[in-house]
Amino acid sequence: MQQSELSGRVALVTGAGQGIGEAVTRALVARGARVAALDWTPDGIKDLEAEFGRDKVTAHTADVADSTAVEAVVDEVENTVGPLGILVNVAGVLRTSPVVDITDDVWHRTFAVNSTGVFNASRAVARRMTERRSGCIVTVGSNAAGVPRTSMAAYAASKAAATMFTKCLGLELGRSGIRCNVVSPGSTDTAMQRGLWADDQAPQRVIDGDPGSYRVGIPLGRIAEPADIADAVAFLVSDRARHITMHDLYVDGGATLRA
């Protein structure tokens, strides 16, 4: 890792208060970026701001589903921290349920955060990046966007929408020198993942797979750590990936058996 490969760049990370978003924030700071950490609750992002200091991390509270609030945060960051060169869309929600039992509220909230939230943040930042003809946008999706999952229809569909949106955005912005990519994690040791575990044997069942739910295991034999996903994001926003755009990088230990 080059300690200063992102030096001088300003990044906005949504969902930065915990899990993958927190790990992405740490990874970008470690590489020299200044990070505007956004989450809908202040606790985690305030802790990051206190740990690193406001010269490296600033905390911003907003619901990514609220386009007006997102636009206000982007304005604030551009005016007080600096021009945004990086956006990482991490904010997401997951509620499991068979399709016949999904409530309207769960369906709409899942898409509001996982899909519309990506649109809101990307649109706001892309408008500024286009004027400067430079920048990188990475959306953290899910391998569920490409493989059907039982009891995860809303989540999988919303992540599939976010993935295709990001690729379309990359196609539109390519001539402006802006790269847009997706990182698709599999099972990762986060609070979201642990919320699905009913007992101490659950992690091993994830690794082994579950024929009853048509789910294969993880060939590498381990559940990802948030840092594994963050390292993939950090690569894609760096100049080492300067000729990569509209790519969907699966970081799932081979769980999808993706060709």
Catalytic residues: 155
Residues 120 and 127 sit within 8 Å (Cβ to Cβ): no
3-state helix, strand, coil in the chain (%, to 5): 50, 15, 35
Q: Give me the helix-helix angle, 104-111 and 153-173, nearest 10°.
A: 30
Closest listed residue to residue 13, CA positions, set 32, 28, 31: 28
Amino acid identity at 95? R
Closest listed residue to residue 87, CA positions, set 35, 133, 17, 161: 35
CA–CA gap between residue 147 and residue 130 (Å, rounded): 33
